[in-house]
Amino acid sequence: MGTRAGASRKDAAAPPPSPEGGAHAVVTTGLTKRFRGGQLAVDGVGLAVPRGSVYGFLGPNGSGKTTTIRMLLGLVTPTSGAWSLLGAPMPGGLARALPRVGALVEGPAFYPYLSGEANLRRFDAADPGADPRTARARIGAALERVGLTAAAGKRYRAYSLGMRQRLAIAAALLGPRELLVLDEPTNGLDPQGTREVRTLIREIAEDGTTVFVSSHLLGEVEQMCGHVGVMRAGRLVAQGPVAALREAGAAPRLRVETPDVAVAAAALSRAGLDGVRAGDGEVTAHAGEEPPERICALLVGEGVAVRGFGVVRPTLEEVFVGLTGEGFDVEA
């Protein structure tokens, strides 16, 4: 799987990174989960999450994202496969790695009548590895990090949706973390809350923390993440830098605006272009090797009234739909 040099399909020839990690915060090889009922939820997944990246784990509902995340954190036992977190092979290294990993998998249960700060105190006290003598500083730093210092004394029930989710992220940041794992952190948020969480994730990454964030929203991944892994029906179908994935999947197409659709389509086919599609007032085709200006001249030479001409690249959404075979909700 090509993850360092650029985006590639899962079956590309590049060797998988070593399970020890090194430059990667998370590495999995052949990670598989078959539930007792026989359901194959995750099927041979090979993730490579570069340290320092914001990695978007994208896939439609039910494609296996949560099950993968639960396996990474030791909450579900894989049927087969290997994985490492922060360079420690799992599951043996869980006790060593987990204190350096913050996770938000199922929203933490907060008491509505307690303040944000008091809720964090309860969380901190429940962590056997946390030194009570330094709790105050830890909680203060976590509230500061998510921008809730001013609202620390406010009751949780008075928090906006975005503030509630930021408090949940603060609970995952009680302590210095090298890796933050967030499962659908903007699910159910209003646009304002979504913006707040997205900005916060970017800020956390700027501090040097690797962020692994799952989402079924393509637009969100596009706005937050430099890297992406795309799941389809339990399998990882693509992985790499977002920009490289866009390039790799997006063969440019020629687009001709003309009232002479049939004539133009025939001329493009005769010129040897593949994938000629005639639409309403336009014809498109794979750009191929021929310089576009030559194609344009050829069309004009054949008497086609060319009203518009250009080379267009498919959107990232079109690339992903091609990979997953499903539509994505592009709103974020």
Ligand X SMILES: Nc1ncnc2c1ncn2[C@@H]1O[C@H](COP(=O)(O)OP(=O)(O)OP(=O)(O)O)[C@@H](O)[C@H]1O
What residues line the site for ligand X (CB under 6 A)?
A: 35, 37, 39, 41, 59, 61-67, 216
> Please, what is the minimum distance in Å from the beta carbon of residue 55 to ligand X?
15
Measured from the CB atom, the residue of 87 and 229 that comes closer to ligand X is 229
> Please, what is the minimum distance in Å from the beta carbon of residue 280 to ligand X?
37
* Dihedral angle over CA of 245, 22, 70, 141, nearest 10: -100
Structure tokens at 329: 């909700």
> Please, what is the minimum distance in Å from the beta carbon of residue 114 to ligand X?
29
CA atoms within 13 A on the CB side of 221: 32
Measured from the CB atom, the residue of 121 and 216 that comes closer to ligand X is 216
Structure tokens at 51: 């340290």
> Please, what is the minimum distance in Å from the beta carbon of residue 45 to ligand X?
11
Which of 1, 91, 102, 116 is closest to 49 using CA atoms? 1
Q: Give the three-state DSSP class for 24.
A: strand
Helix or strand run (H / E) with residue 97:
helix 94-97
- The separation between the first and the last C-alpha atoms of the chain, rounded to the nearest angstrom, is 29
Measured from the CB atom, the residue of 64 and 102 that comes closer to ligand X is 64
Measured from the CB atom, the residue of 220 and 260 that comes closer to ligand X is 220
> Please, what is the minimum distance in Å from the beta carbon of residue 82 to ligand X?
19
> Please, what is the minimum distance in Å from the beta carbon of residue 220 to ligand X?
13
Measured from the CB atom, the residue of 70 and 121 that comes closer to ligand X is 70
Which of 22, 29, 25 is closest to 68 using CA atoms? 29
Q: How far apart are CA 291 and CA 74, in angstroms?
A: 54
Helix or strand run (H / E) with residue 28:
strand 24-34
Measured from the CB atom, the residue of 50 and 59 that comes closer to ligand X is 59
